Structure 1
Amino acid sequence: MAIQPIILTPDLPPLQAFYEQVLGATEVFRYPESGPVFYKTLKIGDAELRLVAEKADVSAPPRIALSIDVPDVDALLPLVEAAGGRVQGPPNDMPWGQRVAHVFDPDGNPVNLTQEL
């Protein structure tokens, strides 16, 4: 079994660019192969993130956050805003042994950047 997160977005290119620029995502699948794209799969490390071009209310409060393990939280924070996202605040060292920064992608989806201490 595997969990495969899918983000619905009204504007796929900036969302894809955010995950490419901040997390080094690479496109591994798109549908259709030519013409306007409806569906893409991005590879981030050993995981996959799917993006679907669909009318979506990005003003609705999010109900799910992505948590992504990264090698250096602090090094990625300057990339977030440059890629169209937003940093909620400075990173914090958590008592369970992780450094965590809360950010938002361009659609306002919460993303927790986590680093093992």
Structure 2
Amino acid sequence: MSATAPAAPATVQPVIVTPDLGRLKAFYGGLVGAEEFTRVPEEGPVFFIGLRIDGSELGLVADESVPTGTPTRILLSIAVEDVDALLDRVAPLGGKVLGPADDMPWGQRVAHVQDPDGNAVNLTQPV
């Protein structure tokens, strides 16, 4: 079986389903400077918020019934300038630092954190 290349370039936008859009928007904005670039609908109760982190996008979708803190099967990896400088921001923004940053053999300094909903996030920088 051979795979064929797609006709047009594809992009991937991670989307987090959350019971509290405002809390996650504030976490990612305060931690890595994520800025809102779109919301649906523009007026009234919001269902979707699109955040931009440099050239990347992260979506947030509202669902009050979704449980938080359950084990996740996805990990967001966010490249930052200084991993260690951001760790003190995590807890005040409602997240959790899972341990100190470590230098990895593949040439990155990595800190494992969780956002306020318990989603796994790696903050990374080149060593």
CA distance in 2, matches of 1:28, 1:70: 20
Aligned partners of 1:5, 1:26: CA distance in 2, in Å? Answer: 15
What's the offset of the Cα at 1:61?
A: 1.1
Write out aligned runs for 1:71-82 (5 A): 71-82=81-92
Which residue in 1 is equivalent to 2:120? 110
How far apart, in 1, do the equivalents of 2:96 and 2:70 lie?
Answer: 17
Aligned with 1:19 (options 17, 28, 53): 28
Which TM-score applies when normalising by structure 2?
A: 0.90
Q: Residue type matched to 1:94 in 2?
A: M
Match for 2:61: what amino acid? V
Residue identity in the other structure for 1:88: L
Matches within 5 A, 1:54-73: 54=63, 55-73=65-83
Unaligned runs of 5+ in 2: 1-9
SS at match of 1:71: coil
Stretches (4+) displaced over 4 A: none
Return 102-111 or 54-63, whichever deviates more.
54-63
Q: Which residue of 2 aligns with 1:101?
A: 111
Cα drift, residue 65 of structure 1: 0.6
CA distance in structure 2 between the aligned counterparts of 1:80 and 1:45, rounded to whole angstroms: 19
Alpha-carbon contact 2:69-2:119 (below 8 Å) kept: no
Q: 1:59 Cα deviation (Å)?
A: 3.5
3-state SS in 2 of match to 1:90: coil
Cα RMSD over matched residues?
0.7
Please state how far the C-alpha of 1:109 moved relative to its aligned partner: 0.2
TM-score, normalised via structure 1 length: 0.98
**Cα distance in 1, alignment partners of residues 102 and 70 from structure 2:** 27
Which ranges in structure 1 are unaligned for 5 or more consecutive residues? none
One-letter amino acid of the structure 1 residue matched with residue 89 of structure 2 = L
How many residues are aligned here?
Answer: 117
Identity %: 58
